[in-house]
Chains A and B, each alone.
Chain A
């Protein structure tokens, strides 16, 4: 493999501005054809991708998600197996091997939420968003590029996390683990984690600061279902998310829960888009 010499690349690029060859107003107004729009989105996505992987917080947040998912799923499975052996379990003597992962996702999601949040609020906090919007002044496109870049990381990672949680649960449950809904459980955990991250990108674009965004997401996804109870929060984002992960006696199917949570995620994105478009940066 050969890497091109830097000067070989730079020679194709003018080092100084020559007014004779590039008068300021000579560039024709580019019509916004779909092909151009897509090319611009691809470039902005590439920029967001570079930004994600050139700060340390990304590694911290994603590592935290892996550790939390594996660790908490193992603890959940081990606890259950221990309780069964001591005879302290009243509702059956077996658990689905993917269930510990679904419980662990409630904690592991915060690694992904922090990652998704920092992709947005990290720029608002430092003022770097101004540089981003000078490079691509179409704000909707910038939000879409950020959402896609976060998704490109979170979709495969969420699936890996669900599998890690499954393995940890399976190992620690041992003989007390059962199959059955395993595939559905893994899919549900994956979808939940992806939607939670995309939801957070929308809230981050709306609120712009890290403390507010993290508080809002915790309240919406965790605190409200706990304080209101499963019944009254069933149609709110947190309740829909919990029922997607596998709630007790949900008033609707798991697929409906996924659709509901997805709709809330779209709503968060639209709110973020509206705010980003309207407000000065």
Chain B
């Protein structure tokens, strides 16, 4: 479990993370979503004790990261796949990390196998492609078999195969009961992997809710109604305060639930061919959320 308590990071006049409080609960995938520069990486670095918060604090399992006696056994992190010595082989890189926790050498070979790098383990990491570097970073994160994993933009710059691989890996790690905190600026990616969503913009928390709730609660979510004669229904719904748009053979209703529309139609005896909730894509929900943040967010 990761707990952020009023976490704030300022660089001079710029506020990168602004009074951020949230709890990443165990089990499942929590997506950490926001446009580039929203403060996602800074937040993750503060969780790992790499950046010092200006105020507030970040706790892992109730303790500051620096207080963990065996941090790699509790939290594994992939921040930047290129953040390793290019002249050291993949295996030696992992061996050096493993040594800090007395992790046996067999585990190094095991995680190399898990990420599919066994055949190139002796090659210098500087010769790796971005995708291979990403796999090595994930092997390092898995080394201590931690219950919590953090990935910062794991699919950035990967080819489709690599993206698929990471997606499947994240789902399977979550299925093992681990807590996954994964950041992305790609809304579509989060829609496929996350259970819970944390959305930030300009360092501020915009939403913290299950994926389905963020989708349903988005301002543009609504109901689609199709039928041969909808004029009466349209008038009644508008009178009840809903926003109704006539789209020919169908109505697009905002501000009313499927239940509301169904009940009204039944009361009026209107024949319906279709009554369905209109799911907005996460993309749209996210744009709405972050657009507001840009509009009303911090003043400079």
| Interface of A toward B, CB cutoff 8 Å | 6-19, 22-25, 27, 29-30, 36, 40, 43-44, 46-48, 50-51, 54-57, 122-123, 126-128, 130-131, 133-138, 278, 280-281
Q: A19-B27, A130-B83, A137-B65 are in contact. Are A10 and B50 (CB under 8 A)?
A: no
Q: Is B145 an interface residue (CB 8 A)?
A: yes
Can you show 16 pairs from A to B with CB atoms below 8 A apart? A10-B110, A13-B103, A13-B104, A16-B145, A16-B176, A30-B70, A47-B99, A50-B92, A54-B95, A56-B87, A126-B82, A126-B85, A127-B82, A133-B49, A136-B100, A137-B68
Inter-chain contact B86/A43, CB cutoff 8 Å: no
Expressed in whole angstroms, the minimum distance between the Cβ of B128 and any Cβ of chain A is 13
B52 touching A128, Cβ below 8 Å: no
Task: Decide yes or no whether B226 CB sits under 8 A from chain A.
Answer: no
Question: How far apart are the CA atoms of A276 and B73 in the complex, in Å?
Answer: 24
Instruction: Name B71-106 residues within 8 Å CB distance of A.
Output: 71-75, 77, 79-80, 82-89, 92-93, 95-97, 99-106
- Chain B residues within 8 Å of chain A by Cβ, number: 60
Complex contact B74–A24 (CB within 8 A) = yes
Q: Is the CB of B70 within 8 A of A17?
A: no
A15 to B176 CA separation, bound complex (whole angstroms) = 11
Q: Let me know if B147 and A57 touch, CB within 8 A.
A: no
Known: A27-B73, A126-B84, A280-B45. 8 other contacts (CB 8 A): A9-B105, A13-B106, A43-B101, A55-B85, A127-B83, A134-B75, A137-B48, A137-B65
By a CB distance below 8 angstroms, the chain A residues around B93 are 54
CB contact under 8 A between A50 and B83, given known A24-B61, A27-B70, A138-B66? no
Residue-by-residue, is B237-264 near A (CB-CB < 8 Å gives 1, otherwise 0)?
A: 0000000000000000000000000000
The residues of B that contact A22 with a CB separation of less than 8 Å are 147
Query: Which of A30, A55, A131 has the most CB atoms of chain B within a 10 A radius of its CB?
Result: A131
Q: Does B26 have its Cβ within 8 Å of any Cβ on chain A?
A: yes
Smallest beta-carbon distance A25→chain B, Å? 5
Contact of A25 among B1, B66, B79, B103 (CB under 8 A): B1
B227 contacts A by Cβ under 8 Å: no
Shortest distance between the CB of B289 and any CB in chain A (Å) = 28
Most buried by A among B61, B82, B173: B61
Chain A residues, CB < 8 A from B49: 133-134, 137
Contact B145 A13 (CB under 8 A): yes
Q: Are B101 and A6 in contact (CB under 8 A)?
A: no
Give the interface SS of chain B, mostly helix, strand, loop or mixed. Answer: loop
Which of B67, B97, B105, B179 is in CB contact (< 8 Å) with A6? B105
Q: In the complex, what distance in Å separates the CA atom of A44 from the CA atom of B26?
A: 29
**A85 vs B172: C-alpha distance when bound (angstroms):** 81
Chain B contacts of A57 at CB under 8 A?
A: 87
Whether, in the assembled complex, B148 has its beta carbon less than 8 Å from a beta carbon of chain A, the answer is yes
Tell me, rounded to whole Å, the shortest Cβ–Cβ distance linking B11 to chain A.
9
Chain B residues with CB under 8 Å of chain A are 1, 26-27, 45, 48-52, 61-63, 65-75, 77, 79-80, 82-89, 92-93, 95-97, 99-107, 109-110, 140, 145-148, 173, 176-179
A137 neighbours in B (Cβ, 8 Å): 48-49, 65-66, 68, 71
B72 touches A134 (CB 8 A): yes
Chain B residue at minimum C-beta to C-beta distance from A31: B69
Distance to closest chain B CB from A182 (angstroms)? 40
Q: Is there contact, CB below 8 Å, between A55 and B88?
A: yes
Partner of B145, one of A14, A55, A136, A138: A14
Tell me whether B1 and A24 are in contact (CB under 8 A): yes
* Nearest chain B CB to A7 CB, angstrom units: 7
Set of chain A residues within 8 Å of B95, measured between Cβ atoms: 50, 54
The distance from the CB of A39 to the nearest CB of chain B, in whole angstroms, is 9
List, in ascending order, chain B residues with CB within 8 A of A43's CB: 99-102
Closest residue of chain B to A50, judged by CB? Answer: B96
Question: Is the beta-carbon distance between A17 and B51 smaller than 8 angstroms?
Answer: no
In the assembled complex, how far is the CB of residue B7 from the closest CB belonging to chain A, in whole angstroms? 14
List residues of chain B with CB within 8 A of the CB of A136.
Answer: 71, 100
- Chain A hits for B83, CB < 8 A: 126-128, 130-131
Contact between A29 and B176, CB atoms less than 8 A apart: no
Residues of the B chain whose Cβ atoms lie less than 8 Å from the Cβ of A135: 71-72, 97, 100-101
CB-based contact A54/B88 at 8 Å: yes
CB contact between A130 and one of B79, B96, B177 (< 8 Å): that residue: B79
Residue of B nearest to A9 (CB): B106
- What is the chain B residue whose CB lies nearest that of A53? B92
Question: Contacts A17-B147, A43-B101, A133-B50; is A6 near B177 (CB within 8 Å)?
Answer: no
A36 to B93, CA, bound (A): 25
Q: Is the CB of A12 within 8 A of B177?
A: no
The 9 closest A-B pairs by CB, nearest first: A127-B83, A9-B106, A10-B106, A19-B177, A30-B69, A54-B92, A24-B147, A135-B100, A137-B66
Which one of A17, A29, A127 contacts B80 once the chains associate, using CB atoms below 8 Å?
A127
Closest-by-CB residue of A relative to B104 is A9
